[in-house]
Amino acid sequence: MPTKPSQGVSVAVTGRREKPRNLEPDDVMSRNIAGVRIERPAGYHDQRGSLVPFMDFQKPFWTEPIVHAYEFTIRPGRIKGWGMHRRQADRYFIQTGDLRVALFDGRADSPTKGSYCQFWFTGGGYGLLYIPTGVWHATQNWGTTLGRIVNFGTVRFDPADPDKARIDPHSGEIRFDWELHDG
């Protein structure tokens, strides 16, 4: 039972003060790996539904041609990845789901080699995420509904010569903590 202050007992609650910031968390996180870009498109929502403009060819996100596009899904509680493309960059449009996209820079010639970053998306929070060629990526669905992402690759997929490499997310080959921590 909590103590009332009128009883002459005081309780001091201390905590860690957050540091002031000039940049949003996405901007800070995207700087961890060279070439990564993220945008959070604003949508228009009302009782009828939503409209979300996400493709504007005047923005740097879309400077490379669109030559291949596909949608993929992630079931609740599952992780897709790690995957890495040798020739193509990925341009994700995150549509639905409570998702964490984790990136690892394994490029030998990168100034950010060995760095990680992660981005969080929730059901109504759309996102555009540019993943450079050679960067390992994995997507975790931490929610209860199906996650959906559309990828606009920069190189057409060739089933006779796929450019994708894969690593099991639980192998430890890429050391990443998939647990969801409180705090």
**88-125 per-position pLDDT tens digit:** 999 999 999 999 999 999 999 999 999 999 999 997 78
- 80 within domain boundaries: yes
- 75 within domain boundaries: yes
The per-residue pLDDT for range 33-54, each reduced to its tens digit, is: 999 999 998 888 899 988 888 9
Is-contact 126 174, C-beta < 8 A?
Answer: no
Q: How confident is the model at residue 141 (pLDDT cuts 50, 70, 90)?
A: very high
Q: Which of 15-24, 52-61, 130-139, 149-158 has the lowest mean pLDDT?
A: 15-24
- 127 within domain boundaries: yes
Within 10 A of 35 (CB to CB), how many other CB atoms are there?
Answer: 16
Pairwise CA distance, residues 98 & 121, whole Å: 6
Q: Where are the alpha helices (DSSP H) in the chain?
A: 25-30
- 10 within domain boundaries: no
Q: Which residue has the tokens 């060995």?
A: 114
Q: How many domains does the chain have?
A: 1
- 118 within domain boundaries: yes
Pairwise CA distance, residues 174 & 176, whole Å: 6
Q: Which uninterrupted H or E stretch holds 27?
A: helix 25-30
> Do the bridges between strand 127-131 and strand 44-46 make them parallel or antiparallel, or are there none, so unpaired?
unpaired
- 105 within domain boundaries: yes
Whole-model pTM: value is 0.84
**What CATH number does the domain containing 127 carry?**
2.60.120.10
Range of the domain at 97: 35-44+60-156
Q: How far is CA 100 from CA 4, 29, 37, 80, 129, in A?
A: 42, 13, 15, 10, 12
